Structure 1
Amino acid sequence: MIAMQYSFTLPADYDMSIIDRRIREKGPLLDGFPNLGFKAYLSALKGEFARRDNLYAPFYLWQEPEGASDFLCSPAFQTLTGAFGWPQVKTWIVWQAEISPDIAAARFATRDILPIEPYAPLAEIRRADGVQAAADVVTGSALASVSGFEPTTWTRVRFRLWREIPEIDAHTQAYRVGHLSQARA
């Protein structure tokens, strides 16, 4: 599995109803996309969640790398980049992904990107992140929990989907979920 996210920081005076409309219109087009675990269409408004600007930042969980490649090579991504520019696409190798059957109820998301110290015990970190991801969903506190790492910059990602926004700290990026696309059963 691969987790993927790109972000578009938009001007403070940008009319975010344009993003909301885009999500409503384009969101369902990825429902059932091959190799997609889920795509969370995410946004944050200036002043919301301590944001200083507006943000559009979809997050993907791909079952297979081909799904990410197929999407990035698709006319849909070409249209997106034509409208908003060429983003840096972050990817992480997934250590653990836990998804509740109630994932469609997600209204909020949080994402933390954490550094991995040089020579850190990766197996221990992976195990601890996996236990936490499973516990988040099993206890019902989160509707999805994804943990992974990126070995070029040596960072970890913790991504979660929620019914209600949890308490967050200054290092956590929070978002609203406008639409959630999933693989077809």
Structure 2
Amino acid sequence: MHAMQYEITLPADYDMEIIRRRVAHKGHLLDEWRGLGLKTYLMRERGVHGSPVNQYAPFYLWHTLAGMNSFLWGGPFQGVADDFGRPSVRQWSGLAYEEGGAARSSARLAVRRRQPVPAGGLLSEVMADAARETGRLAGEDGAVLAAAAVDTGRWELVHFSLWEHGTPKAEGDVFEVLHMSAPERDRLARSC
């Protein structure tokens, strides 16, 4: 499993309905993309859920590198680059993935928490802790799924979770889920 995200931060007075319409019009384009576990079309709106910014920030869990590369180098990503400029694309290697009790529900909110991998100690313990946190999040009421991944270039962990309603039981940046494409979600590895 491979996690990927890019963030497009928009002006404070940007009409976020433009992003909603964009996703409503184009969100289906990845509904059958080979190699894609899931893509969540995420948006933060300034002043909502504590967000300091307006931002469009899709988050992906890829089942295959081939699917990710075909998206980036010959697929719909070109439209993002054409419309907003070429954003920096963050990538993490998957550590853990768990379906939640609300796995069959539509996700309404997402939470992403990035944190440094602690210095010292055993890296195997860091991975085990990330897997336990993924399981804990997935076990919370309203959880659709949870995942953890690591960027070894920056030694950064990312915890990602989707929630069906209400207040997510996770800490981090909260995003509204506008659409989710999940053509190969059933092929995402439960632990990596």
Asked whether the two chains share a fold, i.e. TM above 0.5, the reply is yes
Q: Note if 1:97 corresponds to 2:97.
A: yes
Residues 49-70 of structure 1, C-alpha deviation per residue, up to 9 Å, x if partnerless? Answer: 2222200000000011111111
Residues 64-109 of structure 1, C-alpha deviation per residue, up to 9 Å, x if partnerless? Answer: 1111111101241111111011111001000001134735511000
**Structure 1 residues 61 and 103, CA gap change in structure 2 (3 angstroms):** farther
- Which residue of structure 1 aligns with residue 84 of structure 2? 84
**Structure 1 residues 103 and 40, CA gap change in structure 2 (3 angstroms):** farther
Task: Classify the secondary structure of the residue corresponding to 1:49.
Answer: coil
Between 1:111-120 and 1:85-94, the stretch displaced more is 111-120
- Residue identity (%): 35
- Which residue of structure 1 aligns with residue 190 of structure 2? none
Distance (Å, rounded) in 1 between the aligned partners of 2:24 and 2:138:
27
Task: Classify the secondary structure of the residue corresponding to 1:145.
Answer: strand
Does the 8 Å contact 1:104/1:180 carry over to 2?
Answer: no
Distance (Å, rounded) in 1 between the aligned partners of 2:68 and 2:170:
29
Distance (Å, rounded) in 1 between the aligned partners of 2:24 and 2:105:
15
Q: CA RMSD in A?
A: 1.7
Q: How far 1:163 sits from its partner (Å)?
A: 1.1
Distance (Å, rounded) in 1 between the aligned partners of 2:11 and 2:140:
38
- Which residue of structure 2 aligns with residue 173 of structure 1? 173
- Which residue of structure 1 aligns with residue 67 of structure 2? 67
- Which residue of structure 1 aligns with residue 120 of structure 2? 119
Does the 8 Å contact 1:3/1:92 carry over to 2?
Answer: yes
Runs of 4+ in 1 over 4 A off after TM superposition: none
Task: Classify the secondary structure of the residue corresponding to 1:19.
Answer: helix
Letter of the 1:31 counterpart: D
**Structure 1 residues 104 and 36, CA gap change in structure 2 (3 angstroms):** farther
Residues 126-151 of structure 1, C-alpha deviation per residue, up to 9 Å, x if partnerless? Answer: 11211221232245442111101111
* Structure 1 alignment gaps of length 5 or more: none
Distance (Å, rounded) in 1 between the aligned partners of 2:32 and 2:141:
25
Letter of the 2:41 counterpart: Y
- Which residue of structure 1 aligns with residue 21 of structure 2? 21
- What number of residue pairs does the alignment pair up? 183
Distance (Å, rounded) in 2 between the aligned partners of 1:124 and 1:39:
29
Letter of the 1:159 counterpart: F
Between 1:134-143 and 1:33-42, the stretch displaced more is 134-143
Q: Note if 1:56 corresponds to 2:56.
A: yes
